[in-house]
Structure 1
Amino acid sequence: MRASDVMTCNVISVTPDMTVRDAAKVFADNRISGAPVLDDDGRLIGMISEGDLLRRVEIGTDTGKRSSWFDLFSGTRDAIDYIKTHALKVRDVMTADVVTVSPDTPLNEVANILETHRIKRVPVTDARRLAGIVSRANLVQALASIPEEPASDAALSDSDIRAMLMGELAGRNWAFAGRNLVVTDGVVHLWGTFHSIEAVQAVRVAAEGIPGVKRVEDHTEPYPVMPGI
């Protein structure tokens, strides 16, 4: 799937000359937490979010703790903070350096961008013009919309199940050695020692994703911890 398959096309936007208070009203009236900023030609020039409106002089939230001791000596940081808390126009508080994707961007790349940049939404642009928005919620909705695969009538043998599971686990440093996986009548048995509970859970998840697996039984033991000297 690509960005164009899940993006919201009917996007509420604001203009750079809109007042901060009007932008806040747009957020409140439409129950949104962010919006693209478009110029008169409809081109994307920034993004504004609730985070940009968090500290404002009007509501007495303009004072906050310094993020580091260096800020105590940074006049530039003080100036930026002042602009953010006192500016009247959207253009002065918006984020101008906006990360964007194209309509053809695969969803795995979109997810990586949202995680890496710690943002909730990313604009979709085509020739600098806004085509839509992909949010974290859109990705969740895409997952929820995937139809369940019908159960296969062809029953896999235990050896086929084990082979598929071993293929899924190949090359993963948390996976169990092959001798610790036994499949009997569609039941996957996990044996041996492990270094973390998460490793066991990951192997269980891999096994449960194999068609024909009835259940997973865990017989593993924690890796012995050497006593301190």
Structure 2
Amino acid sequence: MGIKSFQGAREEIKRSYDHPIAVADHMTKKLITFTAEQTLLEVMETFMKNKITGAPVVDEKGRLIGIISDSDCMKQISEGRYFNMPIGNMTVGKYMSTDVLTINGDANIFDAATRFYKTRHRRFPVVENGFLIGQISRKDVMLAALKISGHHWR
């Protein structure tokens, strides 16, 4: 004999938010980008000047072709010493990551937070039809969460 509920059928709770929760509403649209032809020295100078740790790499039409990070630079600095190869001539195209995880602009910030947690990435480019339209970072997701902190997150 099973347990019977005397509460009756429950109505499905519809989730609504007063504040936009889409990635596109919280992504950075004005991005620092690089081309494959630029040097790692240019990348490092830009990283230091702008206090960033990575940036998308685009072709001449604005299509995403890779991402370059401070980790890519660290690897080349380390290996450059070992192989006696100065980094001055090293180009982004040779050392960028081309297997880039992206996120859709219509994804919500909760899904983005889950992806950040599971992958340990610090940023995801937002791409539409192959073209870079923005970037969402861990910081962007935290700022979005703070903006909607007064609402229920069910």
Query: In structure 2, what is the equivalent of residue 132 of structure 1?
Result: 134
1:148 and 1:56 map into 2 onto residues whose CA distance is 45
Q: Secondary structure at the match of 2:75?
A: coil
> Structure 1: where are the runs of 5+ without partners?
64-80, 150-208, 210-229
Query: In structure 2, what is the equivalent of residue 52 of structure 1?
Result: 72
Q: Is 1:3 matched with 2:23?
A: yes
TM-score (norm 2): 0.75
Q: Secondary structure at the match of 2:43?
A: helix
- The higher relative CO (CA closer than 8 Å, separation ≥ 6) is in 2
Structure 1 residue 147 displacement after superposition: 5.7
1:138 and 1:102 map into 2 onto residues whose CA distance is 15
- Which structure 2 residues correspond to residues 114-193 of structure 1 after superposition, within 5 A? 114-146=116-148, 148=150
Q: Rg larger in 1 or in 2?
A: 1
1:100 and 1:25 map into 2 onto residues whose CA distance is 25
* Number of aligned residue pairs: 129
2:63 is aligned, of 43, 51, 66, to: 43
1:45 and 1:31 map into 2 onto residues whose CA distance is 23
Q: Secondary structure at the match of 2:127?
A: strand
TM-score (norm 1): 0.51
Give the fraction of aligned pairs with identical amino acids, expressed as a percent. Answer: 30
1:62 is aligned, of 66, 71, 79, to: 79
- Which structure 2 residues correspond to residues 17-28 of structure 1 after superposition, within 5 A? 17-28=37-48
- Which structure 2 residues correspond to residues 90-105 of structure 1 after superposition, within 5 A? 90-105=92-107
Q: Secondary structure at the match of 2:44?
A: helix
Task: Tell me how large the CA RMSD over aligned residues is.
Answer: 2.4
Which aligned runs of 4 or more in structure 1 are off by greater than 6 angstroms? none
